[in-house]
Amino acid sequence: MPTHQAVRIQSVGGPLELAEVETRPPGRDEVRLTVTACGICGTDRAFVHGGFPNITWPLTPGHEIAGTIAELGEGVDNFAVGDRVAVGWFGGCCYQCDPCRKGIFIHCVNGKVPSWHYPGGYAESVTVPANALARIPSELTDAEAAPMGCAGVTTYNALRHTKAAPGDRVAILGVGGLGHLGLQFARAMGFETIAIARGTGKAEDAKKLGAHHYIDSTSGDVSAALQALGGATVVLGTAGNAQAMADTVGGLAPQGELVTIGVTPDPLPISPVQLITPGLSIVGHPSGTAKDVEDTMHFAVLSGVRAWIEELPLARAAEGYAALEQGRAHYRTVLTM
Ligand SMILES: [Zn+2]
Ligand SMILES: [Zn+2]
């Protein structure tokens, strides 16, 4: 049996260890990739700490995967060995459940996520469903493509499904792994772009990322600051902080939307009274399908949007992950193999 190197975590909260593991050949409708890059996403923390149901241990994290097709399973005729592809949060769907039959594949009841339903991309090789593959355009490197499968598609897809039109004010709450892409996408989509973050440390970066305005959430009332700019049509909540998201609601323009994508189990402290008269909505947005990931990468090529990445070899995955846990990670750390 051929083997490859992969990061493994033996049990909840355990250390990231590099191990030699068996390489699984692709089954029907699957492909095997030689992984070349994998982003370290904030959500990886939740996996390591057992925050999702039915995780199988040992766990190999990683759902921002880029690589090259090494082997095709039976029935895969729309991809070829050597194709460059990405696999993000959307790790496959069944095409048979009710949501799939309605065409909303991201809500597949049998949907798969790399690292959750099969070993993820902190590895030299992954075996994945072919319907999870997004083609990488030649203009993007594998390391640039990897974060587009989760952080990229989540922010891009959320923003393009709001009712904001070019010229409208859109605020991005949080200037981190998701937010630094959200700012770039919002600017490229033609929105008057507002960054909101704690302190002034991110102000300069936010401007470089395209923000027209910067609000330091520690220096006063965020909603008042948004209203002083005229009110936001959309706030994209990328920070996994329920209170910080709630603090923006009073800054929405009439019929505005708070779109939540920052993962937190905490309840949003927002009262119906705040929503009713101005007719506000609060919605969640999942990431996007393989096709949405392709759209994200296409838009990134057109607009010049790129994740700000720091590359780290797979052997140093534990170090990259520790930086994330301790909140001192770069905007996006991408493991390279
Ligand atoms: Zn399905
Ligand atoms: Zn992610």
Q: Please name which ligand lies nearest the alpha carbon of 238.
A: 2
Percentage of residues of the chain with pLDDT beyond 70: 100
Chain-wide mean pLDDT for the chain? 97
pLDDT confidence band for 266 (50 / 70 / 90): very high
Q: Please name which ligand lies nearest the alpha carbon of 90.
A: 2
In the reported structure, the alpha carbon of residue 29 is separated from the centroid of ligand 1 by a whole-number distance in angstroms of: 15
In the reported structure, the alpha carbon of residue 99 is separated from the centroid of ligand 1 by a whole-number distance in angstroms of: 6
Q: What is the pLDDT of residue 329?
A: 80
In the reported structure, the alpha carbon of residue 108 is separated from the centroid of ligand 1 by a whole-number distance in angstroms of: 4
Rounded distance between C-alpha atoms, residue 170 and residue 196, angstroms:
11
Which pTM was predicted? 0.97
Q: What is the pLDDT of residue 165?
A: 97
In the reported structure, the alpha carbon of residue 299 is separated from the centroid of ligand 1 by a whole-number distance in angstroms of: 27
Rounded distance between C-alpha atoms, residue 295 and residue 308, angstroms:
19
SS3 122: coil
Q: What is the pLDDT of residue 53?
A: 93
pLDDT digit string (tens) for 279-329?
A: 999 999 999 999 999 999 999 999 999 999 999 999 999 999 999 989 888
In the reported structure, the alpha carbon of residue 117 is separated from the centroid of ligand 1 by a whole-number distance in angstroms of: 14
Domains and CATH numbers, the chain: 3-150+287-336 (3.90.180.10), 153-284 (3.40.50.720)
Are the beta carbons of 86 and 48 closer than 8 angstroms?
Answer: no
Tokens 């973050």 -> residue: 197
Angle between helices 179-188 and 290-303 (to 10 degrees): 60
Q: Please name which ligand lies nearest the alpha carbon of 149.
A: 2
Averaged pLDDT, 123-130: 98
pLDDT confidence band for 240 (50 / 70 / 90): very high
Q: What is the pLDDT of residue 226?
A: 98
Provide the phi-psi class of 136: left if phi over 0, else alpha when psi is between -120 and 50, else beta.
beta
In the reported structure, the alpha carbon of residue 145 is separated from the centroid of ligand 2 by a whole-number distance in angstroms of: 13
In the reported structure, the alpha carbon of residue 254 is separated from the centroid of ligand 2 by a whole-number distance in angstroms of: 31
Are the beta carbons of 304 and 280 closer than 8 angstroms?
Answer: no
Q: Which residues are CB-neighbours of 303 under 8 A, at least 6 positions away?
A: 184, 185, 188
Q: Which two tokens stand for residue 154?
A: 């989540």
Q: What is the pLDDT of residue 157?
A: 97
pLDDT digit string (tens) for 41-76?
A: 999 999 999 999 999 999 999 999 999 999 999 999
DSSP 58-121: SB-----EEEEEEEE-TT--S--TT-EEEE-S-----S-SHHHHTT-GGG-TT---BTTTB--S
In the reported structure, the alpha carbon of residue 133 is separated from the centroid of ligand 1 by a whole-number distance in angstroms of: 16
Rounded distance between C-alpha atoms, residue 143 and residue 38, angstroms:
7
Q: Is 24 exposed, middle or buried (0-12, 13-18, 19+ CB in 10 A)?
A: middle
In the reported structure, the alpha carbon of residue 42 is separated from the centroid of ligand 2 by a whole-number distance in angstroms of: 6
pLDDT at 138 over 90: yes
Any alpha helices (H) in 178-335, and if so which ranges?
179-188, 203-208, 222-228, 242-246, 272-276, 290-303, 317-325
Are the beta carbons of 171 and 190 closer than 8 angstroms?
Answer: no
In the reported structure, the alpha carbon of residue 121 is separated from the centroid of ligand 2 by a whole-number distance in angstroms of: 12
In the reported structure, the alpha carbon of residue 91 is separated from the centroid of ligand 1 by a whole-number distance in angstroms of: 12
pLDDT at 330 over 90: no
